């Protein structure tokens, strides 16, 4: 826990950017009947029945210091999907960085092993050498700032019926463009000292001698 909070407290460093990574499932739901468009004096109407088209996954990368985020929609949540995300972080989003600090939780695919599952060993090592992982504690994923952004995305974008991945990707891309244009970020307040004061139950107790 203190490792992650220490990363948050450090000043911005373009040579070693800090990014928060996480994902969430999303149901693909379409209308069973075409909705009725609004008219003067009448709101839009939508049938209560809907059609399920399975699920997909939203992967988000969030850089709190600059208020930048990027959302990718995948058909599933597998080690390969996470590995491709890490490659994009290194090669597409931060190619000039010396080292990229990544905050993430303890999900089984959030491991360097995922890179070796998706790529040849030399390529996996190349990507891995540019990354520095900082894990939230078990049952402490709330310490990852990207969870706040995923919650905002859910409230502002995912309350509508979206029945396929291309449409969902367009919707979340439009959402992220608006947020990125405003450089909207998370004003994190919880510090190492707060943790030591308020979460003493999570620290090991030294035996009395």
> How far apart, in Å, are the Cα atoms of 114 and each of 32, 103, 145?
39, 16, 23
pLDDT tens-digit map of 97-143: 999 999 999 999 999 999 999 999 999 999 999 999 999 988 888 99
Beta pairing class for 100-104 and 50-63: unpaired
Looking at the chain, the number of H-run helices and the number of E-run strands are 7, 5
Rounded-to-integer distance, Cα 9 and Cα 40, Å: 53
> Which of 145, 114, 157, 142 has its CA nearest to residue 26?
157
**Dihedral over alpha carbons 173, 109, 7, 5 (to 10 degrees):** 100
Strands of the sheet with 18-31, listed across from one edge: 68-74, 50-63, 18-31, 100-104, 131-135
**pLDDT for the residue numbered 140:** 85
pTM of the model: 0.86
- What is the rounded distance in angstroms from the CA atom of residue 154 to the CA atom of residue 130? 31
The answer for residues whose C-beta is within 8 angstroms of residue 95's C-beta and 6 or more apart is none
Q: Could you give the domains of the chain?
A: 2-30+50-186 (3.30.420.10)
Residues of the chain with pLDDT under 50: none
d(C-alpha 142, C-alpha 136), whole Å: 8
- Residue 44: the pLDDT is 58
């Amino acid at each position: 826990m203190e490792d992650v909070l220490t990363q948050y407290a450090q000043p911005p460093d373009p040579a070693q950017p800090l990014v928060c990574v996480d994902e969430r499932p999303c149901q693909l739901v379409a209308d069973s009947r075409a909705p009725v468009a609004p008219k003067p004096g009448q709101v839009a109407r939508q049938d209560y029945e809907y059609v399920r088209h399975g699920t997909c996954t939203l992967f988000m990368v969030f850089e709190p210091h600059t208020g930048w985020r990027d959302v990718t929609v995948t058909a599933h949540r597998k080690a390969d999907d996470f590995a491709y995300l890490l490659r994009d972080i290194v090669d597409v989003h931060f190619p000039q960085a010396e080292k990229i600090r990544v905050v993430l939780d303890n999900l089984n695919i959030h491991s360097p092993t995922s890179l070796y599952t998706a790529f040849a060993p030399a390529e996996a090592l190349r990507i891995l050498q540019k990354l520095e992982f900082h894990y939230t504690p078990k049952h402490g994923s709330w310490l990852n700032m990207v969870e706040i952004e995923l919650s905002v995305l859910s409230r502002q974008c995912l309350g509508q019926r979206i029945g396929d991945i291309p449409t969902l990707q367009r919707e979340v891309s439009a959402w992220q463009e608006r947020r990125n244009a405003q450089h909207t970020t998370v004003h994190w307040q919880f510090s190492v000292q707060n943790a030591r004061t308020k979460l003493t139950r999570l620290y090991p107790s030294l035996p009395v001698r």
